[in-house]
Structures are given as structure tokens and as C-alpha cells.
């Protein structure tokens, strides 16, 4: 059996694929050729000490941090180097930056929809059913499909 192949057959195509991603702030390199992929139904956690690049990677995936080099794909579509947060939302991504920036009495989806306020109708409609949720916190998670 090939690596990652299950008894049900080969693994599905990745929902999110990151390859050779390098990014940082000013002249400080924070990410150095990072790669990962997330297939539908899979959950991953990014672990590391403060300053290790966890948030920088998630911000790059969501279009909040420019890439210095590398490639990212979401649902088979290239997220170019000038990828933006509104484009991420239009593709079905949503991000909750940290536990301190959420409304605790709202559900995850309600928090995501609130964050999409001010987007155009097409971008806002994408959040009716996000396909990828990125949550940055002590218990970081990426989930698909969203509840």
C-alpha cells in the first residue's frame, strides 16, 4: 500500500496545500520553505513556542501576510502571491484570529459571519457555509467542512 493510502483507496486531493512558503516581517524571515497539506475531513494543529511562525503561516494562508516565495492552493485553485482576505472569504475560507477577538456567546460560524460584515454580497454569501475554518488560539485548528 502506498503511503497515506487507505483500504478505501488513495487519499483525496488536498483542500489546502502549502509548498515552499517563505514569509516574514521587514527583513526578519519567520517562515522558511514551509509545506503542509490538509485533505477534506482532516484536522491539523500547528504547535510551537511564541514567535515560531504559527500565526504568520495562518495569516499567509488567509491572505493577511504576503509571501516572499512559495505556492498555496485551496480546493485546487492557486492562491497567488497577492492573495487577499476578501478573496479567501470568497473561496469559502474563514479565520478567527485569536480567542481574545471573539464573542464568547456566539458560535464559531456566527463569529465568522460577523467578521465578514462589510464585504460585498458575493463574499458575504461565501460565509453561509465556509469550507475551511482557521482558528488561531492555544487550541489552533483547521476544520472542514464547517459546522
Going along the chain from its start, the domains and CATH numbers come out as 16-143 (3.40.50.300)
Query: How does pLDDT run across 51-83, given as a tens digit for each residue?
Result: 899 889 989 998 889 999 999 999 888 988 778
For residue 119, pLDDT beyond 90: no
Residue with cell 460577523: 114
Output the pLDDT for position 139: 43
**DSSP calls for 69-80:** EEEEEETTEE--
Checking if the pLDDT of 1 tops 70, the result is no
pLDDT bin (cut points 50, 70, 90) of residue 128 is low
Strands 77-78 and 69-74, sheet pairing: antiparallel
Question: In terms of pLDDT, which residue wins out, 137 or 11?
Answer: 11
Predicted pLDDT of residue 145: 45
CA–CA–CA angle 119, 123, 129 (5° rounding): 125
Higher-confidence position of 13 and 104: 13
- Percent of the chain having pLDDT more than 90? 22
Distance CA 34, CA 9 (A): 28
pLDDT at 46: 83
- Mean pLDDT estimate for the chain: 75
* Cβ burial, residue 28 (10 Å; 0-12/13-18/19+): exposed
CA 138 to chain centre: 16
Residues 6+ apart with CB under 8 A from 59: 65
Q: What is the pLDDT of residue 24?
A: 94
Residues, the chain: 147
CB 67 within 8 Å of CB 22: yes
**pTM of this structure:** 0.68
Amino acid at each position: 500500500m502506498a503511503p497515506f493510502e487507505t483500504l478505501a483507496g488513495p487519499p483525496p486531493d488536498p483542500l489546502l496545500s502549502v509548498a515552499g512558503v517563505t514569509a516574514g516581517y521587514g527583513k526578519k524571515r519567520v517562515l522558511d520553505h514551509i509545506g503542509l497539506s490538509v485533505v477534506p475531513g482532516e484536522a491539523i494543529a500547528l504547535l510551537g513556542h511564541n514567535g515560531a511562525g504559527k500565526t504568520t503561516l495562518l495569516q499567509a494562508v488567509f491572505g493577511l501576510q504576503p509571501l516572499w516565495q512559495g505556492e498555496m492552493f485551496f480546493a485546487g485553485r492557486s492562491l497567488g502571491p497577492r492573495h487577499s482576505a476578501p478573496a479567501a472569504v470568497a473561496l469559502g475560507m474563514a479565520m478567527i484570529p485569536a480567542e481574545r477577538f471573539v464573542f464568547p456567546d456566539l458560535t464559531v460560524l456566527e463569529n465568522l459571519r460577523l467578521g465578514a460584515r462589510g464585504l460585498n454580497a458575493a463574499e458575504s454569501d461565501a460565509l453561509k457555509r465556509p469550507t475551511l475554518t482557521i482558528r488561531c488560539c492555544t487550541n489552533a485548528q483547521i476544520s472542514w467542512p464547517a459546522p
